[in-house]
Structure 1
């Protein structure tokens, strides 16, 4: 059986949910500081190469990954690098579980069609649909993660419950889904490319090819770099849209422009900041997403393998247990 077929057929739905949730939990904790840096850089709208663009800027000026890490640590303390980590952990756990279940379910449905698609096309469709479903389901947590990470020393929200009350009161239900269209416009091609390229790379770097099953991790890194680079401008638009609303002027950068709609936001960013402005934060995004994808896929594969192996051992034990044989009689 091919690697693609095994990914689609292995494990029960519960085992897939648990494996995806564990993978998301561990992955998020490891890359949290880089996520905060990425969000801060994406919300920084002025050009560092144009001194005139600094006029009217209110808030710190970040330059580079390590410089941003140092500045946040010096100005806000080491714990600031994990701002928004609680909603982000919930996001990654829920997203990881729902994503892998949706991918597995959709893949199995496609495999039962009278006319089968090519394996790469099945992976693309399954990944895109799974990404859209998981993104929409968990989007309010993604928005909270961004807003908490965008806070400076002044607190915009007092905890998760306070943020839920505040957004609900001042922005309504729609406030929890600001930028959701941009998120889906990004995640559909991203997850489609990620899963299809992951399957392709895994054919060359599978667990049996490299020691310690590192083929899973390497395939995740390569797939993440490729797909993230292609769709990154949409990720930047999503972050800019997520901090719109009545609290827009209270984040670390207090003069974030007003954006409306995905296409208009892309045009506005390109006009004011140039083509490079649409890729602001790409370096740290790749530094974050590549190891995050590697950890996610590695932990998912290993967790699922452990549960499957454990179940097989239990089945063998039950099969040879005299008590069980007595009960069957």
Structure 2
């Protein structure tokens, strides 16, 4: 583990780390929410961007690129459209931040990935982000009731198999890239994100995310299956069943490029998310510690 990792592991009490980690997750999620909504919209889009003829059969918008998609959402749904699904996502990221830094502090960094997805919150985030001007669910509560009534408990875990399948290859790719990059980058000066360790982590994260991105895309496609499948902003999402069959269907109908829809915006999201998370965590932890010291001295 890097020197930066050891520093985080030994710093602060468990309570302080949980509070700082939750705060970091809350703030970083709010900052990257628009990019996440754009990513999900692009991942759910199945028609070819290079074939204008295919657009005639599309029911719903046709998105092209990160900035134009963002502009289209703002024009059609208002600026709040860029934060659709943010409430369940905030719940997920607060838990993720707390679990991530607690696991990082008490065991190893690898353990943080075991709790990094809360399937029901992740599914709700995807479904709310996939809603267009016509709302499928009126509120978070109504979405839970609706899914429970019409899809049963299993409905909350759609795409969970793809999420689990991401963990091992992601961690393998991340640590292989990180351990090879860190010794060199730690010696470079004037790097962004503060240190060579942090910069190496960002680069490794981008490489690992690229490697497992097809599974992330399949997870999103599986999460919008069910009775509401044709009600989202993309009305022509096909029926998918299972990770392997979904990948095979996408390859057959959309080619290899179909497995990487939304990759660019996903990578744009990875670097600032890591930077904001670490920046906020360090300062939140320091603030919490200073407050507790001041309280004890009072």
TM-score (norm. length: structure 1): 0.81
Query: Match of 1:293?
Result: 274
- Alpha-carbon shift at residue 267 of structure 1 (Å): 1.1
Q: 1:92-241 maps to which residues of 2 (within 5 A)?
A: 92-107=93-108, 126-127=109-110, 129-135=111-117, 138-191=118-171, 193-194=173-174, 197=177, 210=190, 214-215=194-195, 218-241=199-222
Aligned match for 1:256, one of 231, 234, 237: 237
Secondary structure at the aligned position of 1:101 is classed as helix
Residues 207-234 of structure 1: CA distance to partner in whole angstroms, max 9, x if unpaired? 9965897226534432321111111111
- CA distance in 2 between counterparts of 1:249 and 1:149 reads 14
Query: Match of 2:85?
Result: 84
Query: Match of 1:24?
Result: 25
- CA distance in 1 between counterparts of 2:20 and 2:228 reads 37
Asked if 1:64 corresponds to 2:44, the answer is no
Contact 1:102/1:130 (<8 A) preserved: yes
Gap change, CA 1:292 and 1:60, over 3 Å in 2? same
Greater RCO (CA < 8 Å, at least 6 residues apart): 2
- CA distance in 2 between counterparts of 1:152 and 1:301 reads 37
- Alpha-carbon shift at residue 158 of structure 1 (Å): 0.9
- CA distance in 2 between counterparts of 1:280 and 1:16 reads 36
Query: Match of 1:50?
Result: 51
Contact 2:174/2:204 (<8 A) preserved: yes
- Alpha-carbon shift at residue 37 of structure 1 (Å): 0.6
Runs of 4+ deviating beyond 6 Å: none
Unaligned segments of structure 2, at least 5 residues:
none
Asked if 1:11 corresponds to 2:9, the answer is no
Residues 218-265 of structure 1: CA distance to partner in whole angstroms, max 9, x if unpaired? 344323211111111111001001100110000001110011111111
Equivalent residues, number: 296
Unaligned segments of structure 1, at least 5 residues:
108-125, 322-329
Query: Match of 1:116?
Result: none
- Alpha-carbon shift at residue 204 of structure 1 (Å): 5.4
- CA distance in 2 between counterparts of 1:24 and 1:199 reads 25
- CA distance in 2 between counterparts of 1:188 and 1:132 reads 10
Gap change, CA 1:4 and 1:302, over 3 Å in 2? same
- Alpha-carbon shift at residue 200 of structure 1 (Å): 6.1
User: Comparing 139-148 with 95-104, which one deviates more in the overlay?
Assistant: 95-104
Contact 1:85/1:145 (<8 A) preserved: yes
Gap change, CA 1:247 and 1:149, over 3 Å in 2? same
Residues 162-196 of structure 1: CA distance to partner in whole angstroms, max 9, x if unpaired? 00100011111111110011012123432454466
- Alpha-carbon shift at residue 11 of structure 1 (Å): 2.2
Gap change, CA 1:14 and 1:244, over 3 Å in 2? same
Gap change, CA 1:175 and 1:231, over 3 Å in 2? same
- Alpha-carbon shift at residue 307 of structure 1 (Å): 4.2
Query: Match of 2:284?
Result: 303
Note the aligned Cα RMSD (angstroms).
Answer: 2.8
- CA distance in 2 between counterparts of 1:199 and 1:252 reads 42
- CA distance in 2 between counterparts of 1:64 and 1:213 reads 26
- CA distance in 2 between counterparts of 1:288 and 1:277 reads 20
Structure with bigger gyration radius: 1
- CA distance in 2 between counterparts of 1:231 and 1:219 reads 18
Secondary structure at the aligned position of 1:214 is classed as coil
